[in-house]
Structure 1
Amino acid sequence: MQVLKFGGSSLANAICFSKVANIIHDCQKNSSVSTVVSAPQGITNSLVALIENLDSNGDQVKTLMTNIQQHFQQILEETFTNFSAINKNSTLDEFNQLIEKLDQLVQGTKLLEHCPTSTQAQILSTGEKFSVILLKAFLNSLDLNVQTIDPVNFLTTDDKSVEPIADLDKSKSRFLQAYSSPANVSLMPGFFGVKPSGEMTTLGRNGSDYSAAILAVCIEAKSCVIWTDVNGVYNADPRLVQDAQLIKKMSYHEAMELSYFGAKVLHPKTISPLSLHQIPCYIKNTHEPSQPGTLISNESSEGDTVKAISNLSNVAMINVSGPGMKGMVGMASRVFSAISLADISVIMISQSSAEYCISFCVPGNESDAALECLNEEFKLELKNELLEPISVKRNLAVITLVGDRMQQQKGIAAKFFKALSQARVNIIAIAQDSSERSISAVIRDQRTDDAVKICHQNLFLKKPTIDAFVIGCGTVGKELIAQIQKQQQWLSDKNIALNLVAIANSKHLLLNKNGINLSGNWQNLLTESKETFSLDKLNQFVSESHLNNPVIIDCTSNEDIAMQYDAFLTNGFHVVTANKKANTASFDYYHKLRAAADLKQRRFLYETNVGAGLPVIDNLQGLLRAGDELVQFEGILSGSLSYIFGELHKGLSLSQATLKAKDLGYTEPNPAEDLSGMDVARKVLVIAREAGLQLELSDIELEPVVPQELAEITDASEFLQKLPDYDSTFQLQIEKAEKNNQVLRYIAQIENQKCRVNIQAVDSNHPLYSVADGENALALNTRYYQPRPFVIRGYGAGASVTAAGLFGDLLRTLSWDQEH
């Protein structure tokens, strides 16, 4: 014998009823089948609304009755239209009797001006009874003889429990008396039974699932199958976690813990009788019956340490505390006795070791009642200030890890709390049972989605995620986007998820929480987007999309963007930048950025500020962390000027060399920015500040390559037009240097805590003599590295190396170390 149970979503319309009938037809070929059904989806809520409005005016009740009847009739009409084999006349006769009975109950209640609980149960069970009538008609059309089982004849509850709990022994005895030889196919409406007095009662939340479990015990079923609209139990709520994984096997204990802390597919009351009588339970999908589903039994999947993470929302925490609690015998007993007498269920308990405070969680809608009964119970203690005012924290949630084998694995709690920390979630309280089968944390309800997502990533996928926001679609920005696309397979092989969720330019903002398709027409989509870039827009997007590792990559040289970095960091973004404007703004702002990054535990990374793709900042920081100290610095810090000055000694004029460098993409869009020397000045200032010098940009002694009036031209075309006028003057410097067997180089220096940037003529003995063709070279004289300096040399011009440097910094924002 097998018990099948079908929920409301499995009986939502005529097509669903047909699917259910076919499943039953297939199952009965192998064994006898008893089926328990819920009301069609939405019906029970309508019946609850009807009861709640019975004391209102007649028109309201009439409208509700009409809506309920029309809902039923719509399903019947679909059935008669699409399934001609259904016996229409007998089905309608039974349906009309059901509606007539419902109307009699409603009218009787109106006359009495009171609705007893037994009458409420009869009204609320109308949906389940309808499902039996229609499903029986479907099964008869398949030539199956169906017996109807009435729960009133056997399913007896225990009056001693706060919630309706079945008396299994009495129910089984009564069942055997009423149904000594069940038919091969039988149907039973779920959700209701009777009290010991014989009055009809409902079984509470998931009552039909509970009915199925009770029936399985009564008929000593070989298994109980709960048919629903999902493929089984997942290791996280699939509505919150896109990559939630199906659990193939789980133990009764795991299932009860998981359902107790919020899993919607199950309820502890359902699992308990099955566990006591060792009846396996399957959770399967009505709409995909071939899927294996989840098996709940004594066995659990091998190797799984943590089975699942659940979340229970709309929770309130009650705190009872005060100096009078210390050593006061029976305080906990009084607290929970008062709560029990008020019929309030306690979800979780946490108590301080000093007995100074007892905290416990209750459903949010029961918090006011809990507070009222405790204030009454402890009114003398509160009056005499032995207790502090009893407080309630509302809008909370409980996040719980569940797994039978967690006690065999060290560090599970540490990983759990680390994940919550990475999601930037504050833990309000924690609880763990002695079996170590579950670990719970209370958090703010609004952070539930983020907490569940990050915990799932940490404990199940072990796949770190980066949510990238690229600002700037110029030469470097486009190259970075191309590299992100190109490296997707490499990232996948390294088990890293890098999603480019936003691209912005000066006029448009393109957003996609699932990642922008970089192989598609993202440039056209960006141009067509009506969104514009703003921090508020990004914050809203991050919140709504539940992104937990957002990274802004600034590929611009825009000062307005740079001056928002502190706001980005404060709002939880990592910042990766090639833009030097932030690090070379005021020294106060320089420190403000680092303070914001430290406070919010965000990364502020700017390796490309100095040497494009060369590891300058990282190496310098490494030396300083090791206790080294910068004594002197000398270097060529501009790849564009390195290339230009190299071409000068190949016979090109300054204007020709500059134009060639621009065409190759080595310079800024306006080469005046390169030839002004300001870019190099900013770079050397970054190095100086990293080394601990408190300098401003105005402190740099700067000699531009061209006269100041040329350097200040903001229009690129105008600059390139006027630059040849300076060629002859500059040619004199070139000829003078070559006459002395020297070459010109644009060199930055730090010495005696001062910075200088200028044109120097150097001979072949100078270490920067051979640096040309776009190379950067840096010589760091430190306490450890002297008289021979620490030298870093390589190409520092071009979008590809800069984008590669940004990509490297981007990977350094990974929120945790991968396990090996």
Structure 2
Amino acid sequence: MYILKFGGSSLATSERIKLVAKTIQEHLEKDAVISVFSAFGGVTNDLLTMAELASKEDLRYKEVLEKTEKRHLDVVRELLPVTAQSGILSKVKNQFNRLETLYEGVYLLNELSDKTRHVISGFGEILSSMIIAEYFKSLNLDSLFTDSRKLIVCKNTNEKVVVNYEVTNKNITDFFQEHKADFYIVPGFVAKNDQGVPTTLGRGGSDFTAAIIAGALDLNKVYIYTDVNGMFTANPNLVPQAYSLNHISYEEAMELSHFGAKVLYPPTLQPLLDKNIEIHIKNTFEPEAPGTIISKSSKKNFRWVTGITHIDSIKLLNIEGSGMVGIPGFSKRFFEVLFQEHINVVLITQASSEHSICIAVKADEAEKAKEALDESFDAEIAFKKIKPVEIEDDVSIIALVGDRMKSHHGLSGKMFSALGNNNINIRAIAQGSSERNISAVIAKKDVTKALNTLHEQFFEVPSKELNLFITGVGNVGSKLLDQLKKQETYLLDKLRLKVRVLAVSNSRKMYFDEDGIDLGNWQKLLETGEQADKKLFFKRVKQFNLRNSIFVDNTASAEISGWYKDYLANSISVVTCNKIACADAFENYENLQNLAREYGASFLYETNVGAGLPIIDTLQNLMASGDRIKKIQAVLSGSLNFVFNNYNATDPFYKVVETAMKEGYTEPDPKIDLSGVDVARKILILARESGHQLELEDIERDDFLSAESLNSETNNKFFELLKRDEPEFQNLYRDAEKENAELKYVAQLEDGKARVGLQKVHEHHPFANLSGSDNIVLFFTDRYPEQPLIVKGAGAGAEVTASGIFADIIRIGKK
């Protein structure tokens, strides 16, 4: 004999009921079937909503009642031929007449007792089972309907169910011995108490009904049909990568269902454990899918952790004070108060100093618990031996569950490390001695991020998801997006990095997509976006609250760099080619470094100095290994190097600058490059990375441009002045040519002092013969005193700058 239970989602429409009938008929081909039915999807909620409205003298309950009745009558008309409808339509209307009478009583008394609530909430299962029974009769099946209130006897107080198994098992065995049929139809959820008054088995109790019957009849299996393919490694609505588990143990299922896995009602396991009756959780809409088998052992699982789950509707209660320390019986008093108030404790943690006790309870019981505890300990509170109970809301519990966790070391370390690296603060921790469960209380807003972080850590092929929010999609930004698209497969296959771009922005528009932006179509998508707003951009990134979030700044905007501190303070890493932040006041530069360390975020700016060249990384490695910088000499402006490599006093200087500007070697305002400010910022950054507390005004600068051209307000005016000053540029070139030297704009740091300016470089110097826009840096250190460590290569251009930003993103991924 088979026993099948179908949940409300499987019975939401007449079409779904027909699908259920097909599944039942397939089982009937093999043996007799007992089928337990929930109410039609959403009906139990509607029944209780109506009761609440009636208790508040809100006549809207009648509208809901009318709609609910119509829904059931419509299902009858859709399922049954006209000739078979009259009898069941009469029965359905009779049930709704009884419901209407109950609601009228609640309305008139302005009171809704637990007893009335249980009676009302059970009507959904009775109605659905009656209708389905008539439907199967119309299919000419040998079916028998029985009211489970005649079989199951229980005591139900404050949502806590105690089944009288001695009486219940006898009722069930007697009934099935006396009544023979191919197909038995039983309403789930409903029962009666010792006085014969209708009651229920608690929300989700239809699972429990099937388990009670299976246990009484010593069946081998219980089939629970629902709308998902079994129990998952995590909630698939919150963790898209979650997958169904093929096999778990009773204990694992109990832990997962207790901590929020909605697929199985926790008490369901009670009648099955001792008899080793398997539970098969199946999908009504994909019956061929394997689903999940729950049995005594989960040895088929190869992972240490079986699942991750969470509970949302909880609050923390904390009691603390010196009056608790070393006082025998304090905990007994504490928990006795909660017992007397019928308050269930979800999680307990106590400091080893005995100075505090922290518990988690259902959110709707927190105030009641606080009042009872404060009243019980009023004397201690009055004498300030303990503080009044504090309630903390907006929290959730997340839990790792698995039978094999106890035989594997370091799981809790991995769990807390993964959460900490994503700025998820843990308020309380609990771990049972069985080591089957590690629970932590976190902020409710962090639940999705925490579940995804832990799922990535424990269940996915070792890989890391990086979530990018990119502002600035001009020359550099567009090249970066091209590179990300091109390397997507390589990053996943070779480096185990899944890089997603969730936002792009320019000065006009910004576009967000939490599922990831199609990098083959980002330009068109951006045009459909909303008006760019830096504050709103940050707010959205923060609201997404995703693990491994990275803000990428490809602009030269001082305003955007001012937001770095906010991103870092929210554990959002920052990657930037924008030099302004690192060349700002030393206090601000140091603050950004401290924020990155404090909040576990990365602040990377390799491209601030040499585009794609590993200059800062090299310097940081030298410093970290204990070397000391004695002197740095460098050609750090790819744009200035390009200009002076191509200027030969034949073509005018302004023409060479125009070419550099068109090819992307200069900023949109070329004065930033030609004034030497850009180079001064770069040597300032290297000085700070070397341990010197310099400001930008401390950098000595030798200008080769006239003051008038440096102060010009527009590019047109600037180029006019370059034309006027052409003789000066020619003189500079001719003087160098006479000495068989080249003109290079050089930056130098020595003895804590830095300067930048145009210099003549002779043919044997390492700076000679630099081609195109190449940069070069000479590091003279204690380890490299005579022959410097040299970093040389392309130091400007959108492609190489984008590659430098890309490299910083990869560094974060490998962290």
With the length of structure 1 as denominator, give the TM-score of the two structures: 0.94
Secondary structure of 1:317's counterpart equals strand
Greater shift after overlay, 306-315 or 447-456? 447-456
Secondary structure of 1:348's counterpart equals strand
**In 2, are the aligned partners of 1:85 and 1:141 still within 8 Å (CA)?**
no
Residue of structure 1 in register with 2:153 after alignment: 156
Task: Please give the residue correspondences for 1:128-167 in structure 2 after superposition, counting only pairs within 5 Å.
Answer: 128-158=125-155, 163-167=160-164
**1:517 is aligned to 2:518:** yes
**Structure 1 residue 577: Cα displacement:** 1.1
Residue of structure 2 in register with 1:244 after alignment: 242
**Structure 1 residue 105: Cα displacement:** 4.7
Residue of structure 2 in register with 1:67 after alignment: 67
Residue of structure 1 in register with 2:737 after alignment: 738
Residue of structure 1 in register with 2:763 after alignment: 764
Q: 1:730 to 1:539 in 2, by over 3 A?
A: closer
**In 1, are the aligned partners of 2:225 and 2:281 still within 8 Å (CA)?**
yes
**1:323 is aligned to 2:322:** yes
Residue of structure 2 in register with 1:379 after alignment: 378
What letter corresponds to residue 311 of structure 2 in structure 1? L
**In 1, are the aligned partners of 2:320 and 2:387 still within 8 Å (CA)?**
yes
- Residues 425-458 of structure 1: per-residue CA shift (max 9 Å, x gap): 2211111111100011112223222222222222
Identity of paired residues, percent?
35
Residue of structure 2 in register with 1:168 after alignment: 165
Residue of structure 2 in register with 1:232 after alignment: 230
Secondary structure of 2:199's counterpart equals strand
- Give the Cα separation in 2 of the matches to 1:803 and 1:13: 54
Q: 1:85 to 1:721 in 2, by over 3 A?
A: farther
**In 2, are the aligned partners of 1:576 and 1:606 still within 8 Å (CA)?**
yes
**Structure 1 residue 643: Cα displacement:** 2.1
Residue of structure 2 in register with 1:288 after alignment: 286
What letter corresponds to residue 486 of structure 2 in structure 1? K
**In 2, are the aligned partners of 1:704 and 1:711 still within 8 Å (CA)?**
no
Secondary structure of 2:271's counterpart equals helix
- Give the Cα separation in 2 of the matches to 1:129 and 1:104: 17
What letter corresponds to residue 808 of structure 2 in structure 1? D
Q: 1:7 to 1:469 in 2, by over 3 A?
A: same
Secondary structure of 1:428's counterpart equals strand
**In 2, are the aligned partners of 1:676 and 1:712 still within 8 Å (CA)?**
no
**In 2, are the aligned partners of 1:400 and 1:440 still within 8 Å (CA)?**
yes
- Give the Cα separation in 2 of the matches to 1:299 and 1:404: 9
**Structure 1 residue 28: Cα displacement:** 1.1
**In 1, are the aligned partners of 2:635 and 2:746 still within 8 Å (CA)?**
yes
Residue of structure 2 in register with 1:178 after alignment: 175
Q: Which runs of 5+ in 1 are unaligned?
A: none
Residue of structure 1 in register with 2:568 after alignment: 569
Residue of structure 2 in register with 1:96 after alignment: 93
Task: Please give the residue correspondences for 1:212-361 in structure 2 after superposition, counting only pairs within 5 Å.
Answer: 212-300=210-298, 301-361=300-360
Residue of structure 2 in register with 1:20 after alignment: 20
Q: 1:681 to 1:388 in 2, by over 3 A?
A: closer
What letter corresponds to residue 88 of structure 2 in structure 1? T
**Structure 1 residue 88: Cα displacement:** 1.7
- Residues 759-802 of structure 1: per-residue CA shift (max 9 Å, x gap): 22222222211223221111111122111111111111211111
**In 2, are the aligned partners of 1:642 and 1:775 still within 8 Å (CA)?**
yes
Task: Please give the residue correspondences for 1:7-46 in structure 2 after superposition, counting only pairs within 5 Å.
Answer: 7-46=7-46
What letter corresponds to residue 227 of structure 1 in structure 2? Y
What letter corresponds to residue 467 of structure 2 in structure 1? D
**Structure 1 residue 160: Cα displacement:** 9.6
Residue of structure 2 in register with 1:479 after alignment: 479
- Give the Cα separation in 2 of the matches to 1:513 and 1:547: 10
Q: Which runs of 5+ in 2 are unaligned?
A: none
What letter corresponds to residue 524 of structure 1 in structure 2? K
- Give the Cα separation in 2 of the matches to 1:756 and 1:55: 81
- Give the Cα separation in 2 of the matches to 1:307 and 1:211: 27
- Give the Cα separation in 1 of the matches to 2:50 and 2:657: 82
Greater shift after overlay, 180-189 or 53-62? 53-62
**1:790 is aligned to 2:789:** yes
- Residues 688-727 of structure 1: per-residue CA shift (max 9 Å, x gap): 2222222222222222343232233343344334433333
**In 2, are the aligned partners of 1:645 and 1:772 still within 8 Å (CA)?**
no
**In 2, are the aligned partners of 1:670 and 1:714 still within 8 Å (CA)?**
no
Greater shift after overlay, 624-633 or 785-794? 624-633
Q: 1:103 to 1:637 in 2, by over 3 A?
A: closer
Q: 1:198 to 1:116 in 2, by over 3 A?
A: farther
**In 2, are the aligned partners of 1:407 and 1:435 still within 8 Å (CA)?**
yes
Q: 1:272 to 1:738 in 2, by over 3 A?
A: same
Q: 1:544 to 1:90 in 2, by over 3 A?
A: farther
Q: 1:694 to 1:152 in 2, by over 3 A?
A: closer
Greater shift after overlay, 25-34 or 390-399? 390-399
What letter corresponds to residue 507 of structure 2 in structure 1? S
**In 1, are the aligned partners of 2:425 and 2:442 still within 8 Å (CA)?**
yes
- Give the Cα separation in 2 of the matches to 1:116 and 1:752: 84
- Give the Cα separation in 1 of the matches to 2:290 and 2:746: 70
Secondary structure of 1:221's counterpart equals coil
Secondary structure of 2:36's counterpart equals strand
- Give the Cα separation in 2 of the matches to 1:72 and 1:33: 25
Secondary structure of 1:771's counterpart equals coil
**In 1, are the aligned partners of 2:77 and 2:85 still within 8 Å (CA)?**
no
Residue of structure 1 in register with 2:596 after alignment: 597
What letter corresponds to residue 565 of structure 2 in structure 1? D
**In 1, are the aligned partners of 2:53 and 2:59 still within 8 Å (CA)?**
no
- Residues 209-260 of structure 1: per-residue CA shift (max 9 Å, x gap): 1111111112222211111111211111112112112111111100001111
**Structure 1 residue 182: Cα displacement:** 4.1
- Residues 19-78 of structure 1: per-residue CA shift (max 9 Å, x gap): 111111111111211011111122212222333355565955544533332232233344
Residue of structure 2 in register with 1:503 after alignment: 504
**Structure 1 residue 274: Cα displacement:** 1.8
Secondary structure of 2:373's counterpart equals helix
Task: Please give the residue correspondences for 1:621-636 in structure 2 after superposition, counting only pairs within 5 Å.
Answer: 621-636=620-635
Q: 1:489 to 1:54 in 2, by over 3 A?
A: closer
- Give the Cα separation in 2 of the matches to 1:212 and 1:610: 69
Greater shift after overlay, 733-742 or 797-806? 733-742
- Residues 618-648 of structure 1: per-residue CA shift (max 9 Å, x gap): 1111112222222222121111222222223
Q: 1:198 to 1:147 in 2, by over 3 A?
A: same
The number of residues matched between the two structures is 811
**In 2, are the aligned partners of 1:86 and 1:137 still within 8 Å (CA)?**
no
Task: Please give the residue correspondences for 1:388-537 in structure 2 after superposition, counting only pairs within 5 Å.
Answer: 388-461=387-460, 462-493=462-493, 494-520=495-521, 522-535=522-535, 537=536
Secondary structure of 2:426's counterpart equals coil
- Residues 579-637 of structure 1: per-residue CA shift (max 9 Å, x gap): 11112222222222222222222211111111111111111111122222222221211
- Give the Cα separation in 2 of the matches to 1:79 and 1:228: 21
What letter corresponds to residue 407 of structure 1 in structure 2? K
- Give the Cα separation in 1 of the matches to 2:119 and 2:527: 61
Secondary structure of 1:583's counterpart equals coil
What letter corresponds to residue 95 of structure 2 in structure 1? L
- Give the Cα separation in 2 of the matches to 1:238 and 1:527: 32
What letter corresponds to residue 459 of structure 1 in structure 2? F
Greater shift after overlay, 93-102 or 749-758? 93-102
Q: 1:811 to 1:144 in 2, by over 3 A?
A: same
RMSD after superposition: 2.4
Task: Please give the residue correspondences for 1:593-742 in structure 2 after superposition, counting only pairs within 5 Å.
Answer: 593-649=592-648, 652-742=651-741
Secondary structure of 1:756's counterpart equals strand
- Give the Cα separation in 2 of the matches to 1:56 and 1:608: 65
What letter corresponds to residue 236 of structure 1 in structure 2? A
What letter corresponds to residue 194 of structure 1 in structure 2? K
